[in-house]
Amino acid sequence: MGPTIKYRISEKAVTLAWEEKIDIDIHRQVMLADELISNFPFAGWIENVPGYHTLTIFFDPYIIVKQTRSSDAFQFVEDYLDHIIASPEDPASFETRRVRVPVCYDPEFGIDLEEVSGLLKIGIDDIIHEHCNTPYHVFMLGFQPGFPYMGMLPDVLKIPRKAVPSIKIPAGTVAIGGQQTGIYPFDSPGGWYALGRTPIELFVNGKAFFEPGDEVIFYPIDLDEYHKMKSVEH
């Protein structure tokens, strides 16, 4: 199914929106459209930004008007998108990259494990088991460079965001909020619950570790392994 609406967010960007929900099948269609446009860009195209249910396409209207002889850049982009998105594609055809991510759930890093256990009435071992036992889908990167918004969290781990955000969540922290899980690439304030920490660096020398559309599996490691991997990283 194609996008349901198109809307302008500025003179230089248009957003394609699918049904407004957080859903892996919808996101695969977003990623397919992203791939199509990146592979067959139009004159003046700058970049795409995939969201959960949206794809935003940035462009330079001046280049479009000069190079295509179209007098209305937005109309040109709309027509282009209608044509390119019209070709029906099977969302399953989007090639998914699978990534395994080590997480140390030691209480030293999983500072909110006990609180989550109390709030959700589930044992700490079960939290870790549930968190590791689900493949997650990277919907988008944002908030900080390289921060992956991943879902869907199993229902037993669904948790509202903290009423008062933590002032400093350390880099590498793996956390949950709502029906999502994410990893903080840099120290920052945040409203999600910390379950553990990964030794992997998420944004190094201008390179993000994740791509939108990745499938992620967490696996537990102990403190020793964490420190070993961390020293290899450096």
Partner 1 sequence: MSIKITKPGIYSSVQDQGRFGFRRYGVPVSGSMDKFAAGIANLLIGNSRNEAVLEITLHGLEFIFLQDSLVSFAGGGSRPYADHHALDMYKAIWLPKDTVVNFRHHPDGCRLYMGIAGGWSEPLFMKSRSCFPTAGAGKVIKAGDQLSGGLPSPLAVKIVGEMDTSKISMAGWGYSETSIRTDIVRVIKGPEWDLFSEDSRNSWLRSSFTVTQSSNRMGYRLSGDPLLLGVKKEMISTAVTMGMVQVTPDGMPLLLMADAQTIGGYPRIATVIDADLPVCAQIKPGDKIRFKEVTPHFAEALYIEKEEQLLRLEHLINTKMQM
Nearer to partner 1 by Cβ, of 31 and 128: the residue is: 31
Q: What is the 3-state secondary structure (H, E, C) of 173-219?
A: EEEEEECEEEECCCCEEECCEEEEECCCCCEECCEECCCCCCEEEEE
Nearer to partner 1 by Cβ, of 125 and 233: the residue is: 233
Residue 190 sits at φ, ψ, to 5 deg, of -170, 155
Nearer to partner 1 by Cβ, of 110 and 177: the residue is: 177
Nearer to partner 1 by Cβ, of 143 and 220: the residue is: 143
Nearer to partner 1 by Cβ, of 105 and 136: the residue is: 136
Residue 122 CB, nearest distance to partner 1 (Å)? 26
Structure tokens, 73? 């850049």
Residues contributing to the site for partner 1 (CB under 8 A): 7-13, 15, 17, 20-22, 46-54, 56, 58, 61-62, 65, 72-74, 140-147, 149, 186, 203, 205-206, 208, 212
Nearer to partner 1 by Cβ, of 1 and 46: the residue is: 46
Residue 10 CB, nearest distance to partner 1 (Å)? 5
Residue 183 CB, nearest distance to partner 1 (Å)? 12
Report the alpha-carbon distance of residue 53 to residue 28 in Å, rounded. 9
- Within 8 A by CB and 6+ apart from 140, the residues are 49, 50, 51, 52, 148, 149, 212
Residue 100 CB, nearest distance to partner 1 (Å)? 20
Nearer to partner 1 by Cβ, of 46 and 92: the residue is: 46
Angle at 7 between CA 81 and CA 147, to 5 degrees: 90
Is 116 within 8 Å of 131 (Cβ atoms)?
A: no
> Which of 60, 57, 37 lies closest to 49 in space, CA to CA?
57
Report the alpha-carbon distance of residue 8 to residue 77 in Å, rounded. 11
Report the alpha-carbon distance of residue 47 to residue 12 in Å, rounded. 11
Residue 92 CB, nearest distance to partner 1 (Å)? 22
Is 130 within 8 Å of 154 (Cβ atoms)?
A: yes
Residue 118 CB, nearest distance to partner 1 (Å)? 26
Taking residue 219's Cβ as centre, other Cβ atoms within 10 Å add up to 9
Residue 20 CB, nearest distance to partner 1 (Å)? 6
